[in-house]
Structure 1
Amino acid sequence: MSYSQTLRLPDNASLFTRLRVAGQCLKGLKNDPTNPTYGQTFNLSLNGNVYASLVQQLQRSEEGRRLLSKRPSLEAKELDLAALERLPAGTLGHEFARYYRDNKISPFETTLELKSDVDYLSKRYRETHDLQHVLTGYGTDVMGEMELQAYVLGNLGLRTTMFVLLNGTLGQLKAPQSGVERSEYLRRVWAAYRRGRASPQFLDFWFEEHWETPVATLRARLCAPASA
């Protein structure tokens, strides 16, 4: 049995248990950074309470209840990227498929059983990461990833994004890796955080029903304007 297969986050885990499991995930990610189980379990162990609060918010709206009931999926097995790329340029489907092609990556796939709405939101968040790159316009380089983490921190308040930002920012201040000066880095991260705070929460949006909608239209609907 592999190390990742021994990881387990019990139902209603205590803070101590969640931190312990998160530490195990980080240890595993150092040796196997692309392992999906580590990333998913790390996300759930630190963000479980945040997702539980988001579930309560979603249950108060018809659209939120529909999402939790139907549980739409953006996993690789649910996507026909070739068909999406044939949609007109500028549409969400076309730009989403092109994003994967240009970056030579594949859509997210889960390895965890979905036992609750909290588990589903954890999965949904990870699946929408690449869509948020497309919608916000933040790149996939170091600077762009930090901007997106700051945006999500402002939008959803996920603890994992705070963890990534703190580590990335400390590294940036010690030895810049993003290709921008420290002051510019901090300005852009702060602007992305404020943009996320000003934007509608995105987890209850049915992206699957908007493949033919122009990205510009969805960006105006879902994202506050980016600071100059």
Structure 2
Amino acid sequence: MLQSLELNGVNVTMPDVRHRRRNWKKAFHAMDLLLKDGEDTKQAFEIINALAGRSVERSFGRFLETASGRGLFERREELAGILDDHAFLRQLPAGSFGCAYLTFVTSEGLSAQGLVDENGKIENYQPDNPNDDLAWYSRRLRDMHDLWHVLTGYGRDGLGELALLAFSYSQSRNPGLMFIAYLGARADRKDLGFPQAMKVIWSAKAAGKRAAFLPSVDVVDLFARPLDEVRRSLCIESPLTYLDVLPDFLDRWNQRKLQAAL
């Protein structure tokens, strides 16, 4: 059931989430499945959804407090289609943010539609209601995930994904993100000592807090600008702690993969 209300001076239509409870049982079950198959992205969405509580509503309110956020809300553009428009992205200058994003997704075999499809697999998922403004904002957060990989410099290796979740937690305050990061670090302690992995995660969490509030940034407007310039303007620092331990992490991870294949 949707309701019309005023949120930070803006009229919106959204569900009543005041009594939404976090489902820890569902989150632990999904985490168990995710640890068994790290590529099962659906389980990550299950966890984030189960533990969201009112975090998305609060983040949406913060988004609407900014002039840029209100401008984006008036347009209500859907990012997924823009991000998968490779013809548009190929026209951008070399070294630009948009060019770096295209290189990232093509080298990793990713697409924005892939995130949309995985999101659609979560339990009790309902088709997106075009009249639900909170759902639009949730889709925006989802579709920005790989953009944040590019902006932060955290890779798609296991440690990089955990670090980006911690960074994202500081941006959205959804406890599901830190839940995955912490338990993922514990599970990956064979590839990297738990204290060392947590050092990377805490560093990423702090970096997310110091950065600009990325959900309200018009990322498409920044695509043509040099990536380094965009990072500076958004107060996103180089992930030095992550980069320092990454070679050791990848070496151990590759060794374990080789042993498993024998």
Which category describes the TM-score, using the shorter chain as reference length? 0.7 to 0.9
Q: CA deviation at 1:216?
A: 0.7
**Separation in structure 2 between the aligned mates of residue 227 and residue 33 of structure 1, nearest angstrom:** 26
Separation in 2, partners of 1:47, 1:137: 26
Query: How many angstroms does 1:48 deviate by?
Result: 4.5
Q: Give the C-alpha shift of residue 40 in structure 1.
A: 4.8
1:224 match: secondary structure: coil
Matched, 1:206 2:218: yes
Which residue number in structure 1 is paired with residue 252 of structure 2? none
* Residue number in structure 2 paired with 1:224: 236
Residue 118 of structure 1 aligns with which residue?
Answer: 134
Alignment of 1:98-109 (within 5 A): 98-107=103-112, 108-109=115-116
Match of residue 4 from structure 1: none
Instruction: Give, as a single letter, the amino acid of the residue that structure 1 aligns with 2:40.
Output: P
1:153 aligns with 2:169: yes
TM-score by length of 2: 0.69
Gaps of 5+ in 1: 1-9
Q: State the shift of 1:60 in Å.
A: 2.5
Gaps of 5+ in 2: 1-14, 121-126, 241-262
- Cα deviation code 1:51-82 (max 9, x no counterpart): 11122223233222122222222214663113
Alpha-carbon distance between aligned partners in 1 of 2:150 and 2:99, rounded to the nearest angstrom: 11
User: 2:89 maps to which residue?
Assistant: 84
Determine the structure 2 residue equivalent to 1:6: none
For 2:66 and 2:132, the matched residues in 1 are separated by 18
Cα displacement (A) at 1:195: 0.8
Percent identical residues: 24
Give the Cα separation in 1 of the matches to 2:166 and 2:31.
Answer: 24
Number of matched pairs: 212
Per-residue deviation, residues 24-52 of structure 1 (Å, max 9, x unmatched) = 993896699355xx655653442251111
User: Over aligned residue pairs, what C-alpha RMSD do you find?
Assistant: 3.0
**Aligned-residue offset at 1:191:** 1.2
DSSP-derived class of the 1:138 partner = coil
Q: Which amino acid aligns with 2:223?
A: W
Counterpart of 1:33, as a letter, is D
Matched, 1:26 2:30: yes
Q: Compared with structure 1, are the counterparts of its residues 45 and 70 closer, same or farther at alpha carbon in structure 2 (3 Å cutoff)?
A: farther
Given that residues 56 and 138 in structure 2 are in contact (C-alpha distance below 8 angstroms), is that contact kept between their aligned partners in structure 1? yes
